[in-house]
Amino acid sequence: KYCGVKYAVAFSSGTAALHGACAVANIGKGDEVIVPTYTFVASANCVVYCQGTPVLVDVDPSTFCIDPQKVLKKITKKTKALISVDFAGRAADYGSLLKIIKKNKLILIEDASQALGGLWKGKGIGSYADMTIFSLHPVKSITTGEGGIVATNDRDYYDKLKRFRSHGIVKTQRDGPWYQEMQN
């Protein structure tokens, strides 16, 4: 509610949340995902976990966030998504990035692990990307000892994220409260 999103799915870590976001975005072999050079390794590893290729793009030295002009130069026919990283509570230039995303029909995954509670243009960080990741690691501003969250306004992503996190287990009331099915 605070971030202005309809859905949130808890994970065991921010890295697991990033992995889940890439998996439900259907990142796979042959897909390229643009990632900033200045970030924690999990921002690129989550692409590799899904057999995609991270494409590194330099950051703006005044913000330490991904440089939208440099993003434009790295987009190819294989580019499927962009992972932006909000550094030290500072949001990336989403005015420019959202235009690039829309024009090129890309998925935007925002790694807001260092920006929980932040705002961009008066809106909560987490409310404008397809999926936004928050980390609850001990070095973050809000911690549970460990954990991660994916926030989204997309019901399909929400359902897929819950299945991914829970190994495909879906509970139904079909045969009582303890009944479960494992699905893809």
Active site residues: 140
Across-strand partners of 68? Answer: none
Residue 51 CB contacts under 8 Å (≥ 6 apart), including other chains: 27, 28, 29
- Cα separation, 12 vs 166, whole angstroms: 11
Q: Is 169 left (phi over 0), alpha (psi -120 to 50) or beta?
A: beta
* Tokens at 124, concatenated: 């909560």
DSSP letter at 22 equals H
- Closest listed residue to residue 141, CA positions, set 164, 112, 161: 112
The helix (H) or strand (E) run that includes residue 54 is strand 53-57
- Closest listed residue to residue 165, CA positions, set 19, 46, 47: 19
Under a CB-based contact definition with an 8 Å cutoff, are residues 171 and 179 in contact?
yes
